[in-house]
Amino acid sequence: MAKVTVPDHGSFDVEEGTKLTLALEDNGVQVLHRCGGKAKCTTCRVEVMNGEFGDLTEIEQEAFKKKGVEENLRLSCQVRVNGDCEVKPMMTVESSGLDAGPRPAE
């Protein structure tokens, strides 16, 4: 099990290998994922404050290139929890007033 910490939401344990966006959502952090986990909208991006998710995937690189996204951000729909981490969602249901979007696949 890995510990995921989210500012203002506390910490929770998740099984390693779990897609980050699903770990967040299943533990009450309503991160947006408007495209359903297809890396098209970048609404599920999180700032990685602590922990390691490996190199950016090609899908993330392409999405960030189109959107001009900053360093230390990852798409939570494209990475899996592989150890303890602390992340800060950039867009949530609460902060945006939007519906989260379709649930990404496992």
- Residue 105 lies inside a defined structural domain of this protein: no
pLDDT of amino acid 86: 98
Nearest of 98, 105, 81, 106 to residue 43 by alpha carbon: 98
What pLDDT does 64 receive?
84
8: in domain: yes
- Cα three-residue angle 73-7-93, rounded to 5 degrees: 75
pLDDT of residue 67: 77
What total of structural domains would you count in the chain? Answer: 1
Mean pLDDT of 27-37: 94
Per the prediction, the chain carries an average pLDDT of: 93
Q: What is the pLDDT of residue 66?
A: 80
Summarised one tens digit per residue, pLDDT across range 52-99 is 998 888 988 888 888 777 778 999 999 999 999 999 999 999 888 888
Residues 1 and 16: beta-carbon distance below 8 Å: yes
Provide the residue range defining the domain that includes 77. 2-96
Mean pLDDT of all residues in 16-43: 95
The whole-number pLDDT of residue 99 equals: 86
Q: Which of 98, 88, 68 is closest to 20 using CA atoms?
A: 88
Domain assignment of residue 70, yes or no: yes
CATH code, domain with 78: 3.10.20.30
Is there a domain that residue 103 lies in?
no
Kindly state whether residue 106 falls inside one of the protein's structural domains.
no
pTM of the full structure: 0.91
Within a domain: residue 48?
A: yes
